[in-house]
């Protein structure tokens, strides 16, 4: 996957309770329509998730997660040339999703919640997006603590990269995990030092779209968080982000295009 220039990953949540778009795309027809819209708007990847990882989200069974995502992946793989990503921490869901047509795995636990995840990804020889989180969705925002958030997240991701490479995964991407066991201060410390992660020599994905680090900081509702999201996307691009994982593809693509124009005229 070419990320020499920044790209956009469109979020497609097949869930009733995701924090921003929960319930909007639970019907297959609505999900397919939304995926095609993101495709038309310029998304390079469609990221499909059937398990909400927002703070305090309800647990769902492995079978229910697969029942949500597999039919969508099968249908989309026949109707778009865009790579499809499966957003899951479960190796069986990843395995069945790849068989159905997914070509990336996006794991919020970086393989730590399922001991078979890394070997499953290696078996299929697909890219792996490894994210840092502290705790589980049910408790991760209950007073997260770090001695030095940058050093701890960096060290964790470096360890994961080494483990993935030694297991045979050729393409590893990293995600610092904004909002996953981090306070507002932790999130902005990581964002401010994002360029430090470039020394890990793997692509960096940023998932900040409409998150509480934006709307709580501005004292607004999540529905009004697009402008703040766009600003932080631009900041991230300027500090080394390779992939923007977003709800609003059109606006993110405008950031990417303007960022490219700036670089062309340096």
The pLDDT of residue 22 is 47
For residue 243, tell me if it sits in a domain: yes
Burial class (CB in 10 A: 0-12, 13-18, 19+), 153: buried
State which residues form the domain around 103: 7-264
Neighbours of 227 (CB within 10 A): 11
Confidence at residue 53, expressed as pLDDT on a 0 to 100 scale: 78
pLDDT score of 32: 87
| pLDDT tens track, the chain, 266 positions | 789 999 999 999 887 754 445 445 567 788 888 999 999 999 999 999 999 877 666 788 999 999 999 999 999 999 888 999 999 999 999 999 999 999 999 999 999 999 999 999 999 999 999 999 987 776 667 788 899 999 999 999 999 999 999 999 999 999 999 999 999 999 999 999 999 999 999 999 999 999 999 999 999 999 999 999 999 999 999 999 999 999 999 999 999 999 999 998 76
CATH number of the domain within which 94 lies: 3.20.20.20
Residue 39, both tokens = 């495709």
pLDDT at 56: 66
pLDDT of residue 19: 46
Which member of 54, 133, 182, 211 is catalytic?
Answer: 211
- In terms of Cβ atoms closer than 10 Å to its own Cβ (0-12, 13-18, 19+), residue 198 is middle
In angstroms, the Cα distances linking 97 to 66, 124, 130 are 8, 11, 17
Residue 256 domain-assigned? yes
Query: What pLDDT, on a 0 to 100 scale, did the predictor assign at position 26?
Result: 60
Q: How many structural domains is the chain composed of?
A: 1
162 found inside a domain: yes
In a domain, residue 2? The reply is no
Q: Does 33 participate in catalysis according to the annotation? A: no
Is residue 109 domain-resident? yes
Q: Say whether 90 is catalytic.
A: no
In a domain, 44, yes or no: yes
Residue 135 lies in a domain: yes
Helix (H) or strand (E) holding 184: helix 184-192
Q: Is residue 218 part of a domain?
A: yes
Among the listed residues 68, 82, 90, 245, the single catalytic one is 245
């Amino acid at each position: 996957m070419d990320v020499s220039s920044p790209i956009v990953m469109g979020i497609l949540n097949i869930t009733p309770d995701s924090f921003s778009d929960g319930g909007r795309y639970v019907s297959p027809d609505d999900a397919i329509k939304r995926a095609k819209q993101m495709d038309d708007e310029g998304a390079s990847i469609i990221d499909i998730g059937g398990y909400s990882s927002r703070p305090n989200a309800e647990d769902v069974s492995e079978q229910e997660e697969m029942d949500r995502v597999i039919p969508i992946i099968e249908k989309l793989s026949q109707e778009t040339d865009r790579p499809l990503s499966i957003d899951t921490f479960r190796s069986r869901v990843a395995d069945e999703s790849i068989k159905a047509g997914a070509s990336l795995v996006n794991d919020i636990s970086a393989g730590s919640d399922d001991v078979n995840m890394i070997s499953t990804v290696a078996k299929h020889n697909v890219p792996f997006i490894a994210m840092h989180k502290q705790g589980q969705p049910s408790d991760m925002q209950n007073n997260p603590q770090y001695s030095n958030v940058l050093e701890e997240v960096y060290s964790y991701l470096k360890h994961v990269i080494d483990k993935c490479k030694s297991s045979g995964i050729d393409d590893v991407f990293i995600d610092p995990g904004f909002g996953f066991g981090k306070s507002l201060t932790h999130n902005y410390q990581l964002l401010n030092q994002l360029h430090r992660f470039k020394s890990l020599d793997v692509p960096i994905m940023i998932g900040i779209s409409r998150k509480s680090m934006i709307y709580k900081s501005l004292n607004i509702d999540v529905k009004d968080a697009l402008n703040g999201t766009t600003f932080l996307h631009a900041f991230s691009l300027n500090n080394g982000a390779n992939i923007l994982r977003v709800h609003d593809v059109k606006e993110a693509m405008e950031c990417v295009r303007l960022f490219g124009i700036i670089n062309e005229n340096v």
